[in-house]
Homo-oligomer: A and B are copies of this chain.
Amino acid sequence: MSSLPTFADVQAAARRLEGVAVRTPLLENPRINDKLGGRLFIKAECLQRTGSFKIRGAYNFLASMSETDRRNGAVGWSSGNHAQGLAEAGRLLGVKTTIVMPADAPALKVANTRASGAAVVLYDRVKESREEIGMDIARKTGATVVPPYDHPWILTGQGTAGLELAEQATALGVTLDAVAAPCSGGGLATGVALGVKGIMPNAMVHAGEPVGFDDLARSLASGRKETNARLSGSICDALLAPTPGDVTFPLAQKLLGPGVVVTDDEVLDAMEVAFREFKIVVEPGGAVALAAALTGKLPVKGRTVAVVCSGGNVDHATFIRALQRYQPA
């Protein structure tokens, strides 16, 4: 597809994902609603297979490939959720996957990726380029490169979370004023916007980013692709893409409202609220949209708002750090 992906593409992806993706629940809490003076829903994608929404895009990508291409396998690079999503999608579809991961990635993430049957190639983060290694594998084996976000098949797969969310809200008799989703390269946020607006065209959709990694918010404001000054330094390890994608940015310009930007402390507090009030485990990057709603940066007062909590792959120490911030009233 050379033109921008559409709602119909998200609907087609949803049909491919039927029985594969968990229909994650839309959660609500009367105490939080009272506190915010509106209605807040959480789409709990942390409960998705592999602990994040990434299986949606990866599976949709592999399922959209030709039979011949599938036989030659797929290759991707990621230290986190895309690795696990792609590996598991490969296992489910019988496609051989190779994942290029940093040698210093947490042992548990490497083990989880291998447990799905993927071949893991480790690289030196300082001396080597994962893109070069991945491209080299693709050239030598004929494997298809599966990008983490900047591809129509990926973002329309992620968009099925938005489609579901809007369907679930409709079943509750609710019309959403606004929806927000975490944003790294923009695959989830733009996909969700496509999915939501196909059902609720008047809903505003916003991308949430951590302070210092708000390339999309700044790009939307300036009208051109901006780049982050740093490559690391936020607790939101899943949201550090340096600049919007070539496919996702024009779609973001068309579909998204202004970005919302939150601090690491606001993210930790949102993780604690997700634990205490919603009983879900959310990783830092998965909690940015929730943090925006809880802090009022994304206003909920007098409105009906849904946020995507996109993943739950958080280590024990970080989660304990979030819980320890709680001060009983």
Task: Please give the number of chain A residues whose Cβ is less than 8 angstroms from any Cβ of chain B in the complex.
Answer: 38
Asked if residues B280 and A279 are in contact (CB atoms below 8 Å), the reply is yes
**Residue from B25, B282, B316, B324 in contact with A25 in the complex, judged by beta carbons closer than 8 Å:** B25
Minimum Cβ distance to chain B for residue A76 (Å)? 19
Which residues in window 146-184 of A have CB below 8 A to B? 172
The quantity of this chain's copies bound in the complex is: 2
Residue A263 at the chain B interface, CB threshold 8 Å: no
Residue A107 at the chain B interface, CB threshold 8 Å: yes
How far apart sit A216 and B115, CA to CA, in the bound complex (Å)?
39
How far apart sit A279 and B316, CA to CA, in the bound complex (Å)?
12
**Residue from B107, B312, B320, B326 in contact with A279 in the complex, judged by beta carbons closer than 8 Å:** B312
Asked if residues B27 and A25 are in contact (CB atoms below 8 Å), the reply is no
How far apart sit A22 and B25, CA to CA, in the bound complex (Å)?
8
Residue A1 at the chain B interface, CB threshold 8 Å: no
Kindly list chain B residues whose C-beta atoms are within 8 Å of the C-beta of A46. 279
17 additional contacts (CB under 8 A) given A281-B281, A320-B324: A22-B25, A22-B27, A23-B25, A30-B88, A30-B115, A30-B116, A44-B47, A47-B278, A107-B328, A107-B329, A275-B281, A275-B316, A276-B316, A279-B280, A279-B281, A279-B282, A316-B326
